[in-house]
Copies of this chain bind each other. A is one copy, B any other.
Amino acid sequence: MDTTARLLITCPDKPGIVAAVATFLYHHGANITSLDQHTTDPEGGMFFMRLEFQTPHLDVSRTLLERAFADAVARQFAMDWRITYAVAPKNIAILVSRHDHALLEILWRWSRGQLPGTVTMVISNHPDLETAVRNFGVPFHHVPVERDNKAQAESRMLELMRGNADVVILARYMQILSGAMIQQYAHRIINIHHSFLPAFVGADPYQQAYDKGVKLVGATAHYVTEELDMGPIIEQDVVRVSHRLQPAHLRELGRDVERNVLARAVKWHLEDRIVVYGNRTVVFN
């Protein structure tokens, strides 16, 4: 059994935070095995911290530990915080349209145990990928989206996800989500965009990249916000291209980047390594 717990903290920076947190954990029998912190500015900036600690020798229950932390530490430093436990992995819903590369990469890594979490469902507006998904033992739901049933389709998706999805992965899902749905899963919907954002927002970025004649094409994993392709960036990468490549070749090369970038972003989210602050992310990796 994995006895790891993770504590994430965001608060105004001031002296004594590390001492207070580490001393609290030590006194309750928690052994810190990893600690990472970040300060935007030691004078009046924001402070971010991620700790991993081991729980076998805790002197209280998890519930009491959290209540005590809130009272003894969090309040005095005005902390925004949460503790998560490896024994309670996140539920994952994947939304996809027709492209299978990002989906299969996530499912394959997950099936090998490389992505902690439980893939509870794949939802698609097309039926094409049902067999591929079922081969992994994962439920597949076909929820068609037409011009005049968008609201009903989204209701159906939310119903499927209710209680079964802590994070939503858009593995090349080509429909735009409503603001209501985005707010319900704020900073919990991860999209893979097939360009190096903020270059080439919107449709067919590989064609845009070809037309512009760039020498690298990239991919960007980001949290979804209401402004299209503009949410906090989690991870990016690029691959070198040349004048020899047509848009179809850029798409082929780009797919490999998309797969890896999305997989890294998802892994970090599942391991609680990401803190969003404003429109930027702190990634403790």
Contact = CB atoms under 8 A, between A and B. Distances in A.
A243 B38 contact: yes
Contacts of A127: none
Interface string A266-285: 00000000000001111100
Interface string A226-252: 000000111111100011100000001
B236 A212 contact: no
Contacts of A181: none
Interface in A6-32: 15-16, 18-19, 22-23, 25-27, 29, 31-32
A200 to B, nearest CB: 8
B35 A213 contact: no
A196 B197 CA distance: 10
A120 interface: no
Interface size class of A (residues with CB under 8 A): 35 or more
Interface of A: 15-16, 18-19, 22-23, 25-27, 29, 31-39, 42, 54, 104, 108, 114, 135, 196-200, 212-216, 218, 232-238, 242-244, 252, 256, 260, 279-283
Given A38-B243, A196-B214, 12 more contacts: A18-B32, A19-B27, A35-B36, A197-B212, A198-B214, A213-B232, A215-B283, A216-B236, A216-B238, A243-B280, A243-B281, A256-B260
22 contacts: A15-B26, A19-B22, A22-B23, A23-B23, A33-B42, A35-B36, A36-B36, A196-B216, A197-B212, A197-B214, A198-B212, A212-B280, A213-B232, A213-B233, A213-B281, A214-B236, A215-B235, A216-B236, A216-B238, A242-B283, A243-B280, A243-B283
